[in-house]
Chain A
Amino acid sequence: MPFVNWLKRHLVVMAGILTLAYLLLPNVIVTVFSFNKPKGRFNYAWQQFSLDAWKQPCGVADMCGSLSLSLQIAVWATVGATILGTMIAFALVRYRFRARGAVNSLIFLPMAMPEVVMAASLLTLFLNMGAQLGFYTILIAHIMFCLSFVVTAVKARVMSMDPRLEEAARDLYAGPVQTFVRVTLPIAAPGIAAGALLSFALSFDDFIITNFNAGSTVTFPMFVWGSAQRGTPVQINVIGTAMFLVAVLITLFSMLVTNRRNNQKA
């Protein structure tokens, strides 16, 4: 039976493609429904093709405001978490010191903790301190949970780095600063970039921790959450589609650049 044999040989590929379809199906739906003209408040059933939402992506009250707030928080959280996380990663990989194990556990724990637990405990702290909930409490929370992911990403890269490159730089009379800027940093850069990108995505998308610590401030995920109860405007799908496209384009572009650079070296 040739068909059964063919199926057997390609079983993994078929199963993998089905999983990929499962992963991408919601994105297809989001894109399709961004061209819908819904009846009533909810955008769950297909009615009629329309470009209205794409023509006026900010036509919904408060949506673009929440979007820009989320972008600002994500940028600052990325900057903060990347700087603090890279410093920790270098300390952990490059130096032997006491309490290394304790530091490693402290880095690991936030990633192994359900978000709702961290969210609730942070809120308890803020309530006890009498802190004003809003932009800064959100930012503090985001830097906190992005930090561990940056440390992990940078650590992985720095660990696989050949220390002889830095020794060579020193042998050629480069000072510590020069060695760091000209040799260490460029080699660690992909790890730092990966950590930064992850921070940005995590911060921009976070709902649970933000929901607890935002007070009356509304970030984009919180706006989407609220609209799920009140009625979802089509513009949400427009933003979702645009974010997906931008992500694909940026990754494709960065891959082309790396490929070209590698080809030039070869």
Chain B
Amino acid sequence: MSTLTEAEAPPPLAPTAPETKPPRKRGRWTPYWLLLPGLLWLIVFFALPMIYQASTSVQTGSLEEGYKVTWHFATYWDALSEYWPQFLRSVFYAAAATVLCLLLGYPLAYLIAFRAGRWRNLIMILVIAPFFTSFLIRTLAWKTILADNGPVVHTLNSLHVLDLTNWLGWTAGDRVLATPLAVVCGLTYNFLPFMILPLYTSLERIDGRLHEAAGDLYARPWTTFRKVTFPLSMPGVVSGTLLTFIPAAGDYVNSELLGSTDTRMIGNVIQTQFLRILDYPTAAALSFILMAAILAMVTIYIRRAGTEDLV
């Protein structure tokens, strides 16, 4: 991705609809009336809460005596110095899951877009339908799949894969459950559809004649992929990686169900601080740090990937 220079960046996709803006005389206020209810909802229940949270994060006090805004910015520093391992771990797990999703998801998206033929609709259904089984139920199923005496662990053990992953620190002893590997596996599984769908959308838009043209110019399949297909699918790659990385970094379900206390992510910390310890300022500061970190990373990433055609 880092090799993608301005010159090689994919051209913006041609808009499918002709540009349509006949100036209308009537209804100058219509767009505002259409926007009003929905935007009010987002302002009151999305933007306003952020402001409340900002003010909470600089408050001091206790639950009994109440909190007051004292501009106590040290909360940020304390939270960061105490929980930086969980922050780092979240970024690392989310990045690993995103890379795995891309590696696993690309072939399937490619298969649906170009090779599936009459099976295309069926495969699409099979990709989307698991969404409707609660993701918690499916994540719990991974407990069965990765169980200590189960076939997966047994196979990995006899192939000596576990020796390697133990050495890398991804697993511990003869088990996969309650290790980083299990958490990353769960994250990858949970966010894979969010990678596949945007990839498929952008692959499907590619004109098949471009592949023929590449072939006519004596490009081998791999070269065609590297020079034509992959660059043209960049919008899908960018939005897929974002849709995977962002929720994965804030997730605490996988680490709670498949991991152990050694795999706690920042989401777990925020949840515990907010709902069990009831230390609202620290919880608010932590979620602001998470938000700022993600926004910063996403901005840099979008700049480098060179596309703003996201949603």
Which residues in window 277-311 of B have CB below 8 A to A?
280, 283-284, 287-288, 290-291, 294-295, 298, 310-311
Measured between beta carbons, the chain A residues less than 8 angstroms from B290 are 114, 116-117
Measured between beta carbons, the chain B residues less than 8 angstroms from A90 are 34
Q: Are B287 and A26 in contact (CB under 8 A)?
A: no
Closest beta carbon of chain B to A58's beta carbon, Å: 16
Measured between beta carbons, the chain A residues less than 8 angstroms from B137 are 30, 224, 236-237, 239-240
Measured between beta carbons, the chain A residues less than 8 angstroms from B170 are none
Closest beta carbon of chain B to A102's beta carbon, Å: 10
Task: Please measure, in the bound complex, the distance between the C-alpha atom of A44 and the C-alpha atom of B257, giving whole angstroms.
Answer: 13
Contact of B110 with A by CB under 8 A: yes
Selected contact of B131 from candidates A103, A117, A123, A201, CB within 8 Å: A201
Selected contact of B132 from candidates A19, A29, A152, A201, CB within 8 Å: A201
Contact of B121 with A by CB under 8 A: yes
Selected contact of A110 from candidates B16, B46, B249, CB within 8 Å: B46
Q: Are B126 and A116 in contact (CB under 8 A)?
A: no
Selected contact of A125 from candidates B48, B192, B193, CB within 8 Å: B48
Q: Are B104 and A88 in contact (CB under 8 A)?
A: no
Contact of B76 with A by CB under 8 A: no
A114-B189 contact, Cβ under 8 Å, with A120-B287, A143-B41, A252-B125: no
Which of the segments B17-25, B160-168, B210-218 contacts the partner chain?
Answer: B17-25
Selected contact of B34 from candidates A88, A205, A228, CB within 8 Å: A88
Q: Are A13 and B111 in contact (CB under 8 A)?
A: yes
Measured between beta carbons, the chain A residues less than 8 angstroms from B275 are 211-212
Q: Are A124 and B52 in contact (CB under 8 A)?
A: yes
B interface, over-half SS = helix
Measured between beta carbons, the chain B residues less than 8 angstroms from A205 are 131-132, 134-135
Q: Are B145 and A121 in contact (CB under 8 A)?
A: no
Measured between beta carbons, the chain A residues less than 8 angstroms from B310 are 108
Binary contact readout A209-250 vs B (1 if CB under 8 angstroms, 0 otherwise) = 001100000001100110010001000110111011011100
Closest to A141 in B: B45
Q: Are A16 and B110 in contact (CB under 8 A)?
A: yes
Task: Please measure, in the bound complex, the distance between the C-alpha atom of A176 and the C-alpha atom of B84, giving whole angstroms.
Answer: 58
Closest beta carbon of chain B to A177's beta carbon, Å: 13
Measured between beta carbons, the chain B residues less than 8 angstroms from A122 are 45-46, 49
Measured between beta carbons, the chain B residues less than 8 angstroms from A30 are 133, 137-138, 141
Task: Please measure, in the bound complex, the distance between the C-alpha atom of A160 and the C-alpha atom of B17, giving whole angstroms.
Answer: 5
Contact of B4 with A by CB under 8 A: no
Q: Are B140 and A161 in contact (CB under 8 A)?
A: no
Task: Please measure, in the bound complex, the distance between the C-alpha atom of A120 and the C-alpha atom of B129, giving whole angstroms.
Answer: 30
Measured between beta carbons, the chain A residues less than 8 angstroms from B32 are 91, 97
Closest to A158 in B: B17
Task: Please measure, in the bound complex, the distance between the C-alpha atom of A116 and the C-alpha atom of B251, giving whole angstroms.
Answer: 7
Contact of B115 with A by CB under 8 A: yes
Which of A20, A204, A252: most chain B CB closer than 10 A? A20
Q: Are A91 and B35 in contact (CB under 8 A)?
A: yes
Q: Are A240 and B138 in contact (CB under 8 A)?
A: yes
Contact of B80 with A by CB under 8 A: no
Q: Can you list 26 A-B contacts with CB-CB less than 8 angstroms, sorted by A residue number?
A: A12-B107, A12-B111, A15-B108, A20-B127, A23-B130, A25-B141, A26-B141, A27-B133, A29-B141, A33-B141, A84-B41, A87-B38, A97-B32, A107-B42, A108-B311, A110-B46, A112-B242, A115-B247, A143-B41, A208-B251, A212-B275, A232-B140, A237-B137, A244-B129, A247-B129, A252-B125
Q: Supply 20 further A-B pairs (C-beta < 8 A) apart from A26-B145, A108-B311, A114-B247.
A: A19-B108, A19-B196, A20-B123, A27-B129, A27-B130, A33-B141, A33-B144, A85-B38, A95-B34, A103-B35, A113-B246, A117-B287, A122-B46, A140-B45, A141-B45, A208-B253, A228-B140, A243-B133, A244-B129, A247-B132
Chain B positions near chain A (C-beta within 8 angstroms): 15-18, 20-21, 30-32, 34-35, 37-39, 41-43, 45-50, 52-53, 56, 104-105, 107-108, 110-112, 115, 121, 123, 125-145, 147, 189, 192-193, 196, 242, 246-247, 249-253, 257, 267, 270-271, 274-275, 280, 283-284, 287-288, 290-291, 294-295, 298, 310-311
Chain A positions near chain B (C-beta within 8 angstroms): 12-13, 15-20, 22-27, 29-30, 33, 44-45, 84-85, 87-88, 90-91, 94-97, 103, 106-118, 120-125, 127-128, 140-141, 143-144, 147, 151-152, 159-163, 201, 204-205, 207-208, 211-212, 220-221, 224-225, 228, 232, 236-237, 239-241, 243-244, 246-248, 251-252, 255
